[in-house]
């Protein structure tokens, strides 16, 4: 059985306050985009090990047994008698990009195991398990435009459609430390609530919607800021870093031909949004 975990972008990202536990409260909108990994599970012929992970495509950072798809399997194995499986993960979503690739893989793994082995888990129960794997993992269970707050784990569905708009995503060969990015943030309440901002047409977002990570990250990595500037130069009606970076996306109107992109060794992706 195979599935295709998709990426997400952040529409706006406001860091509103630092919490007593050291984390930060934020508000953002998660929006799914059609950049996809491929994830397949099959019954293993070996009874000696509970799982074997076979990665391909882009390199997978860290130890294989620490991969979130493995953690998703082990999480459910604590509650269900799962048979040994082979896990085939083809990575097309770059890591360290602010696109949620690892979180998507984890959530889709939960859903895949639920279907494959008839676990009869409800959407709410899958979200509960997903939350144990990461703050934003649960978003990918329902996988629809969502307003998130708290540490990115409190979700409210929203009515927002960018169907027909075109997107360009550029991920330079730069690693941005999320911990460092947070350490440079000065939390503040936004002048306009993000839920209000997204009620405006995308043509007005450039003046209204911000990603609070950009100021500090752009100061450290001017090349990331240059990508945003170039996307605007190419005709994007809105451009932003996603999450804490390092990817930057540009939204283009349905009638705008997508420009030729030349960002050296950067990963580039273009698509029409569903």
- Please list the active-site residues: 8, 136
Beta pairing class for 85-91 and 51-57: parallel
For tokens 């919490």, name the residue. Answer: 19
| Partners of 36 in the β-ladder | 6
Backbone phi and psi for residue 170, each to the nearest 5 degrees, phi listed first: -125, 125
CB-based contact 152:158 (threshold 8 Å) = no
Q: What angle do CA 236, 204, 136 make, to 5 degrees?
A: 75
Closest CA to 227 of 248, 252, 251, 242: 248
d(CA 238, CA 273): 14
Task: Quote the longest CA-to-CA distance of the chain.
Answer: 58
| Partners of 101 in the β-ladder | none
Closest CA to 98 of 196, 172, 209: 172
| Partners of 267 in the β-ladder | 171
**Coil vs helix vs strand at 61:** coil
Which long-range contacts (C-beta less than 8 Å, at least 24 apart) are formed by 198-205?
Answer: 198/11, 198/12, 198/29, 198/158, 198/160, 202/162, 202/165, 202/237, 202/238, 202/251, 203/237, 205/11, 205/237, 205/238
């Amino acid at each position: 059985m195979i599935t295709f975990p998709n990426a997400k972008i952040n529409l706006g990202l406001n860091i509103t306050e630092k919490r007593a536990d050291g984390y930060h409260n934020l508000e953002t909108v998660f929006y799914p985009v059609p950049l996809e990994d491929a994830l397949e599970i099959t019954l293993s012929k070996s009874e000696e090990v509970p799982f074997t992970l076979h990665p391909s495509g882009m390199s997978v950072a860290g130890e294989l047994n620490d991969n979130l798809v493995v953690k998703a399997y082990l999480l459910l194995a604590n509650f269900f008698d799962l048979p040994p499986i082979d896990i085939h993960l083809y990575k097309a979503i770059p890591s360290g990009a602010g696109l949620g690739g690892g979180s998507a893989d984890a959530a889709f793994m939960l859903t895949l195991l639920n279907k494959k082995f008839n676990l009869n888990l409800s959407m709410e129960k899958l979200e509960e398990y997903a939350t144990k794997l990461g703050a934003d993992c649960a978003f990918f269970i329902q996988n629809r435009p969502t307003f998130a707050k708290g540490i990115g784990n409190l979700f409210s569905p929203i009515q927002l459609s960018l169907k027909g708009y075109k997107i360009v995503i550029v991920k330079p060969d730069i690693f941005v430390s999320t911990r460092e990015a947070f350490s440079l943030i000065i939390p503040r309440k936004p002048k306009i609530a993000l839920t209000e901002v997204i009620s405006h047409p995308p043509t007005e977002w450039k003046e209204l919607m911000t990603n609070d990570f950009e100021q500090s990250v752009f100061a450290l990595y001017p090349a990331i800021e240059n990508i945003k500037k170039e996307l605007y130069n190419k005709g994007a009606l809105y451009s932003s870093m996603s999450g804490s970076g390092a990817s930057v996306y540009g939204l283009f109107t349905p009638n705008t031909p997508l420009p030729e992109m030349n960002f050296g060794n950067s990963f580039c992706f273009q698509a029409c949004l569903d």
